[in-house]
Structure 1
Amino acid sequence: MAGVLDSVNQRTQLVGQNRLELLLFRLRGRQIYGINVFKVKEVLQCPRLSSIPNSRQVVRGVAHIRGETIPIIDLSMAIRLPGIPQEELASSFVIITEYNRKTQGFLVTGVDRIMNMNWEEILPPPKGAGKDVYLTAVTRIDDKLVEIIDVEKILAEVSPLGEDVTEAVLSKSADRVPGHLPVLVVDDSAVARRQIERCLTAIGMEVVTKNDGKQAYEYLKEVTADGSRARDHFSLIISDVEMPEMDGYTLVTKVKGDPAMEDIFVMLHTSLSGVFNQAMVKKVGADDFMAKFSPDELAERVMDIIDQG
């Protein structure tokens, strides 16, 4: 897997085409799991791990990799499966990722291959899966079910982020926000939707949430069917990038190509912080980009956008 990330530029060609590349891997057992290659920095044989006193059991230790000290999370344990035995660590793999401005490694038993796919082939988890499931989506490859892990849910449990807007920022919102139209928030992760909604309601904004780009675009088509414009209904749209059925890039492309929606402000808000760049924002026509998740920064940015109105 040494060459897993040897061509990030090639992957940027997927932007706006509703496509993604999945890195397939296994935990303990035969089930296949997937993670977006855009979030992967490196895949390597499990290095020597140093223990961390008083750390959570799911954090198996830290590894010193290319000048960084990186926490290594046992992904099996994180999704409530039996952890990888100590004697199997040397034959296991670590997937080094960057999420929400932080670098961490996920310990897995085996790494399979990379698959280039269309987001339309990536579906939401079955409705009966329940709220506590650690999945954002599922797909089928070679007639086998592949489960796509909700990493944001895992990280919210293992290393919780502050989710509250500080008083200093809240004090600025009273004169700037009241009376404005709602914000449309689009994200497939229930954890991310909750974080964003909590942030925006704290500064006095109403929020409408949708679970993926397809759902959001169909909703926008519905509310503008009477000849109104998207800006008549919403102050702005905040959208994740990775979503089943229709990703955020494709949603932006469709919105900006629709006369009834083209002038609404769209911010991409994503955990793809490490490899994302402004060239991608410009390619699909988004108005802004922010890496997840800083409640104060998001609140301030939304207030600025509204002020510029």
Structure 2
Amino acid sequence: MAAHGILLVDKPGGLTSHDVVARVRRAFGTRRVGHAGTLDPAATGLLVIGIEGATRLLTYIVGADKTYTATIRLGARTSTDDAEGDVIATADASDWAGVDDAAVRGGIRALTGAISQVPSSVSAIRIDGRRAYDLVRAGETVELASRQVTVSRFDVLAQRREGGFLDLDVVVDCSSGTYIRALGRDLGDALGVGGHLTALRRTRVGGFEVSDAVTLDALETAVPLPPADAATRVMPALHVSAEEARALRHGQRLVGQRDRMPGAEAAGIDPDGVLVGVLEVRGHDIKSAMNMPEAQS
């Protein structure tokens, strides 16, 4: 049987997330592989990969908040909101033209907190079953609806001015569904000079850090995180007895036990440290919303 669990991979630039999944399938000898959120081909960083029965956990990981580092170039807008597209407008982003430190701080402040954001037209959002970026490449006009997202941190780490452009190295903590390309675009638009990303790296997904990830060259010897370890990085644990674990695995409830739950969801852990499943409250009871296969838990 193939190894199972959650594998953290540091995706290099130039590959799609599907390319990485294909590499993991070959390395682990299984088709049952999935990921918790795509990265653009040009982007690098953390992909959270589920293998075998642990793919069931991806549903609970994909909505976790995330951290990115990026470089935003102010002074040029592109057709894709990143460096892969064609430059469609330019403007002077020098400080004497009004794009000084105070203006940048104000623009970033307006894009921090709960905001309404229109995703990039070349995002992976599906429209009538087709990806938005496929529609754009086919020459169709794509208009996406705005969505509410939360940007809890948007800090400038460094900046460089050259030839009328202002490059900002930034770090962003945000809710799932936030498009960093759209932040760069919207900051440039607010400052009246246009903006796009020239680099993007995902460094965190929930409790998973890119510093713990393996490279593609190390897949053959990589050891996935056990499901219990992975689950408790995204939700609190609830330790259950062996008898309770058997009941939960057979679809039974822990009657009248709702006060034991540490949150809306919890990772049920048996006395051997094995993940029983993801638990939830039903009325006054606790039941399993998702059971792990016993041989892979």
More helix by share: 1
The structure with more radius of gyration: 2
Higher relative contact order (CA 8 A, sep 6+): 2
TM-score, normalised with respect to structure 2: 0.28
TM-score, normalised with respect to structure 1: 0.27
